[in-house]
Amino acid sequence: MSDFRSSDADHVLFGLGLCACLLFLRILPGQETAVISDRIVTL
């Protein structure tokens, strides 16, 4: 049971982190956002 709970928590934290990253990218200027998105794609 604890394994399922920990995995669910990890998925939730990952989702929140991803949303935060997307919001952060929207706040940044277009050019910087493009560079960062390119770096993420190359990873």
Task: Identify the domain containing residue 18 by its residue range.
Answer: 2-42
Q: What confidence score (pLDDT) does residue 26 get?
A: 79
- In a 13 Å sphere around the CA of 38, the CA atoms on its Cβ side amount to 6
What's the total number of domains in the chain? 1
pLDDT along the chain (43 residues), means of 10: 71 88 76 74 73
Q: What confidence score (pLDDT) does residue 24 get?
A: 80
Dist CA 25 CA 31 (whole Å): 10
pTM, two decimals, is: 0.45
Q: What confidence score (pLDDT) does residue 43 get?
A: 65
**Is 29 within 8 Å of 40 (Cβ atoms)?**
no
Q: What confidence score (pLDDT) does residue 3 get?
A: 62
Q: What confidence score (pLDDT) does residue 33 get?
A: 66
**Is 36 within 8 Å of 26 (Cβ atoms)?**
no
Dist CA 38 CA 33 (whole Å): 8
